[in-house]
């Protein structure tokens, strides 16, 4: 297990095929993180997917395009990042660094509801409210490619949602 994203120096890294999606990000984009959470001994909340934090993107670093000296510099600068701590995973690694407005939420924000998938099994999907707000739809889980919110109205809605308490 490793802590990724990390919210001390606001970095997230990935050396897998998700790296190609991270390379599409630009300064000022929002990288939003969600997690599957299950409440402990309470009926007030339900098992679901929740937004836990976000980074307004400051920089996207493709380690494949760096010299050894540049790699070493980023390893020192972002030493809290799990991938950089190991340093045996630098090939194909992309690190996204957030700016000073990056946050881990004090209260997780519910974004899912359970719906039957093709085979009838209940699984997590974006809630109807989130679909309308963000202009995206469908099932959401770790193994699928990242989702992109586009359109000025939807992006502004996302930013307002993230900054709410």
Q: Could you tell me which residues come within 8 angstroms of residue 156 by beta carbon, excluding any fewer than 6 positions away? A: none
Structural domains counted in the chain: 1
Window from 23-27, 80-84, 136-140 with minimum mean pLDDT: 136-140
In the predicted structure, residue 2 carries a pLDDT above the cut 70? no
Residue 2 lies in a domain: no
pLDDT tens track for 54-92:
999 999 999 999 999 999 999 999 999 998 887 676 899
Q: What are phi and psi of 104, to 5 degrees?
A: -100, 135
Residue 29 lies in a domain: yes
Residue 141 lies in a domain: yes
pLDDT at 31: 93
- Give the span between the Cα atoms of 154 and 127, in whole angstroms: 15
Residue 128 lies in a domain: yes
List the one residue out of 52, 60, 54 whose CA is nearest residue 155: 54
**What is the extent of the structural domain holding 133?**
11-163
Residue 4 lies in a domain: no
pLDDT at 4: 81
Residue 3 lies in a domain: no
Query: Which of the two residues, 7 and 85, has the higher pLDDT score?
Result: 7
Distance (Å) of CA 73 to CA 47, 78, 92: 41, 9, 17
pLDDT at 148: 85
Residue 118 lies in a domain: yes
List the one residue out of 18, 2, 1 whose CA is nearest residue 96: 18
Q: What is the mean pLDDT of the chain?
A: 88
Residue 90 lies in a domain: yes
């Amino acid at each position: 297990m490793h802590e990724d994203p990390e919210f001390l120096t606001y970095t997230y890294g990935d050396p897998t095929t998700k790296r190609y999606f991270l390379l599409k990000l630009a300064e000022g984009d929002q990288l939003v993180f969600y997690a599957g959470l299950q409440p402990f001994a309470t009926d007030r909340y339900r098992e679901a997917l929740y937004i836990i934090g976000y980074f307004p993107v400051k920089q996207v670093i493709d380690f494949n395009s760096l010299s050894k000296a540049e790699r070493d510099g980023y390893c020192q600068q972002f030493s809290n990042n799990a991938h950089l701590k190991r340093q045996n995973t630098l090939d194909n690694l992309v690190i996204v660094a957030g700016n000073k407005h990056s946050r881990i939420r004090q209260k997780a924000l519910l974004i899912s509801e359970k719906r039957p998938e093709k085979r009838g099994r209940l699984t997590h999907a974006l809630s109807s409210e989130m679909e309308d707000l963000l202009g995206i739809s469908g099932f959401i889980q770790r193994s699928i490619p990242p989702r992109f919110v586009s359109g000025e109205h939807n992006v502004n809605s996302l930013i307002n949602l993230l900054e709410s308490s």
